[in-house]
Amino acid sequence: GEKVEQHESTLSVREGDSAVINCTYTDTASSYFPWYKQEAGKSLHFVIDIRSNVDRKQSQRLTVLLDKKAKRFSLHITATQPEDSAIYFCAASQGGRALIFGTGTTVSVSP
Amino acid sequence: NAGVIQTPRHKVTGKGQEATLWCEPISGHSAVFWYRQTIVQGLEFLTYFRNQAPIDDSGMPKERFSAQMPNQSHSTLKIQSTQPQDSAVYLCASSLTTNSDYTFGSGTRLLVI
């Protein structure tokens, strides 16, 4: 089955800098790649996704890149703010199957 | 829209007792998922339903865990003979389709002592 590896377990950035989180997946049939954010003491909520028919998607300060050849996708956060501090999870799935999640990256944005 | 509702928020059970966790998905969502979150294992997929039918339970520990979705407005996860290693946050999520973003509930924190 699918396995998703999230390469950075922690990431510390200064406010205003950029943060990048990288994930790789194993199943070439995977076609849906969302990202979720979990703030302290709260549940996960959806932030952005990308499907395999495109290689880039942007939403405000968030950009997701997908490299299907390398089976790699990444989340880029620009102009980081303190409220971006959270655990970020990448995930992957193929049609009809449940999401498989990475292990999470704790992002800390310091003033 | 109250989102995905999970009850109870916290549950403490003695080793060997049964625990039943409830989930009310968002109305109109066809897919319902159960995950387990621990510090050590991260987010583990357990099982999911589509239009109330069980589709994939490959993540469920065999024998003691079972899940049902008797109607479109709720799903239950039952753990029999609970063990300390079952202690975790159990998350329920629903989505419009299997391949769209999930809305997670707040989770049930289960502690087996």
- pLDDT tens figures, A16-38: 999 999 999 999 999 999 999 99
Interface test with A, best of B39, B41, B102, B108 (most A CBs within 10 A): B102
Q: What whole-number distance in Å separates Cα of residue A17 and Cα of residue A110?
A: 10
- B104/A44 CB distance under 8 A: yes
- B56/A97 CB distance under 8 A: yes
Residue A58 CB partners (closer than 8 Å, separation 6+): A64
Q: Is pLDDT of B1 > 90?
A: no
Q: Which of B56, B101, B105 sits opposite A98 (nearest CB)?
A: B56
- Summarised one tens digit per residue, pLDDT across range B45-75 is 999 999 999 999 999 998 999 999 999 999 9
Q: Which residues of B9-35 are buried (b: 16+ CB within 10 A; e: fewer)?
A: eebebeeeeebebebbbbeebbbbbbb
Check: CB of residue B45 under 8 Å from CB of residue A99: yes
- A98/B104 CB distance under 8 A: no
How sure is the predictor about B97, in pLDDT bands with cuts at 50, 70 and 90? confident
pLDDT of residue B92: 98
- How close, in Å, is residue A95 to chain B by CA atoms? 6
Nearest 5 degrees, angle CA B83-CA A41-CA A14? 130
- A101/B48 CB distance under 8 A: no
Instruction: Please give the structure tokens belonging to residue B50.
Output: 């589509």
Tell which wins on pLDDT, A99 or A95. A99
